[in-house]
Structure 1
Amino acid sequence: MVAMVDENSLREALATVMDPELRRPIAELGMLKGIRIDDAGNVTVQVLLTIAGCPLRGTIAGDVERALAAVPGTSSVSVELEVMTAEERQALKDRLRGPGAARGIPFNEPSSLTRVYAVASGKGGVGKSSITVNLACALAARGLRVGIIDADVHGFSVPGLLGIAQAPTRVDEMILPPVAYGVKAISIGMFVSGNQPVAWRGPMLHRALEQFLTDVYFGDLDALFLDLPPGTGDVAISVAQLLPRSEILVVTTPQAAAAEVAERAGSIAAQTGQQVAGVIENMSWLELEDGTRMDVFGSGGGAAVAERLGTALGTSIPLLGSIPLEPRLREGGDTGRPIVLSDQASAAAEALRGIGAALVSKPRGLAGRPLGVTPST
């Protein structure tokens, strides 16, 4: 005799199925339209997709099938995929952003506890983008909710470093960022075909960054990383204007000339009112086969930048960590598999995780933020 399928058990199983882009249960998002069960235990589930061309429709259907197949008494599972109406999409947006929510930058809201890090460098070629991606993945691996904005519009590289090939999903004016290794990421590279260059002037760069911050739905994040272009140009100024509470992470190599240029990238904080969260030294040494270290680019550049920035800004700036020069770090970027995930025992991965741990351990100030407490009468 076949056990009867309990609909409550089916709904409990569906509560574990997450939308791969929104990272929330499909039932909570209004994507579950209905369930039918026949006497033989065959289950049919109607699931609503946000758009007709949803790139992850197969993932959603597969997750639903696997969740329901594990429920006792289920003989078979059939998933019927339909598309939300305009009214249902509006209801979804209201669930995510709140009814009638005006467009704005959520990370500037007084109640936001998201730590925003602008990863900067004085010059190109110091590994800033690789560090950004690896730090984000290291924090996501710790269970934190993390996002990346590839603000280097002309030299975008985040999609390749994360192995992201899919385009973002649009729900009317709202953009859902692709997710890789638990990190939500957006880049202008996801909107251009092939290796097409982006030849934009300052105002368009500002507008692109503003749209990423207002139209892209990241949800509630613990940390947001912005991969800035080298130098102190238009994008660095726009970040300071659009995200005044963002903190600067300065990336340099040990080389004296690179350190001098990196110092300028951090000194912009004196003009913008931002804080410098710390300095990261990349390509610090190369470990040889006999265990000795070769200082390919010299030594001491990171500590020098931290000390000089601290003097210039009148505060203590930490050297958060030194990352060795390892071929596997480069290989991970080429394959879209960050080294903190692909080679966790490597010295570079350990250094990156240590930097991530230092960022996590920093307390988040609550000055000026509502606590939701009202006095008793």
Structure 2
Amino acid sequence: MVEVFAVASGKGGTGKTTSTVALGMALAERYDVTVVDADTGMANLLFHAGLSEVETTLHDVLADSAPVADATYDRFGMTVVPCGTSLEGFREADPSRLREVVATLAADTDVILLDSPPALDSRAAVLPVVIADRAVVVLQPTIPAISDGLKVQEYATSYDTDVAGLLFNKVREDGIERVAEKTERYFEGPTLGAVPESERAREARRAGRPLLAHAPDCEAAAAYRRAADALSVRDGASDDVADRFRSAVIPEPP
């Protein structure tokens, strides 16, 4: 009874991790949600969730030195699986084991959000998108960002991962209007929402707290809640839900 979303972007700096946590918190009002930091090389979810002091992370699980349960933490109404930030941990981790991690988590949750690497430049970076049922593409409302987002869509659809929708972030006043037509023309999924550029989001990152916990009444937080409402969660169940993720094919490099 689980659906897995890859929250992805074609480049860094779009606010993808902020968006992943915000969508997770909003969805957690209706579902059992698990958020996984699948960016094993440049992880930062643990800082957003106030987990910088944890001992066991996804790196340890991917290195086969700890069970998944030891790297799960209850934070802000969600289950959070952070990834470590050390170079040694990255070297020891086997990214292909992410399939087994997702399979294990899928047995005990409704929604999994994979905070995916921003650049599709390796097999490990593409794998979260391949594993997922659908992808949420996070974009800034600029032509270059849309071009990068199209690369995410191309990889997703080539591996039978649907696009659940687009989430525009860091939107300045009237900034989305000039790209809306191109977006509708080239992307398959609907526009879930447009989150305004927000000083409160920057404050939340500095405080090590999710935006919806730090400033729940701000305009950006409200936009994330509307986006979560627009994100339809389907029943992704199969006869053996775990096998569905264990069998995901590891893609060739782009």
- Determine the C-alpha separation between the residues in 2 that align with 1:224 and 1:255: 28
Q: Is the 8 A contact 1:303 1:319 kept in 2?
A: no
The counterpart of 1:247, out of the listed 134, 141, 150, is 134
Task: Give the partner amino acid of 2:21.
Answer: V
The counterpart of 1:197, out of the listed 87, 112, 127, is 87
Residue 346 (structure 1) aligned with residue 218 (structure 2): yes
- Determine the C-alpha separation between the residues in 2 that align with 1:218 and 1:335: 31
Q: Is the 8 A contact 2:141 2:179 kept in 1?
A: yes
Task: Give the partner amino acid of 1:260.
Answer: S
- Determine the C-alpha separation between the residues in 2 that align with 1:224 and 1:365: 11
Larger-Rg structure: 1
The counterpart of 2:155, out of the listed 268, 273, 283, is 268
Following superposition, the deviation at residue 347 of structure 1 comes to: 1.0
Residue 307 (structure 1) aligned with residue 185 (structure 2): yes
Q: Is the 8 A contact 2:33 2:110 kept in 1?
A: yes
Q: Say which SS state the counterpart of residue 340 (structure 1) adopts.
A: helix
The counterpart of 1:181, out of the listed 76, 82, 100, is 76
In structure 2, the gaps of 5 or more residues are 241-254
Q: Is the 8 A contact 1:138 1:352 kept in 2?
A: yes
Change (3 A) 1:247 1:158: same
Q: Is the 8 A contact 1:123 1:230 kept in 2?
A: yes
- Determine the C-alpha separation between the residues in 2 that align with 1:133 and 1:226: 10
Following superposition, the deviation at residue 143 of structure 1 comes to: 4.2
Following superposition, the deviation at residue 228 of structure 1 comes to: 0.6
- Determine the C-alpha separation between the residues in 1 that align with 2:54 and 2:157: 39
Q: Say which SS state the counterpart of residue 273 (structure 1) adopts.
A: coil
Percent sequence identity over matched residues? Answer: 27
- Determine the C-alpha separation between the residues in 2 that align with 1:172 and 1:236: 22
* Within-5 A mapping of 1:151-300: 151-164=38-51, 165-168=53-56, 173-176=67-70, 177-189=72-84, 196-197=86-87, 200=90, 204-207=94-97, 209-213=98-102, 220-232=108-120, 233-241=122-130, 243=131, 246-285=133-172, 293=173, 295=175, 299-300=177-178
Bigger mean CA offset, 162-171 vs 322-331: 162-171
Following superposition, the deviation at residue 294 of structure 1 comes to: 6.6
- Determine the C-alpha separation between the residues in 2 that align with 1:321 and 1:231: 23
- Determine the C-alpha separation between the residues in 1 that align with 2:221 and 2:200: 10
CA RMSD, 1 decimal:
3.0
Aligned to 2:207: 335
Aligned to 2:20: 132
Task: Give the partner amino acid of 2:101.
Answer: F
In structure 1, the gaps of 5 or more residues are 1-112, 190-194, 286-292, 311-316, 371-377
- Determine which structure has the larger helix proportion and give its number: 2
Change (3 A) 1:302 1:123: farther
Q: Is the 8 A contact 2:2 2:236 kept in 1?
A: no
Change (3 A) 1:246 1:331: same
Task: Give the partner amino acid of 2:76.
Answer: Y
- Determine the C-alpha separation between the residues in 2 that align with 1:328 and 1:205: 34
Give the number of the structure with larger relative contact order, counting CA–CA contacts within 8 Å between residues 6 or more apart. 2
Number of aligned residues:
231
Following superposition, the deviation at residue 259 of structure 1 comes to: 1.1
Task: Give the partner amino acid of 1:206.
Answer: S
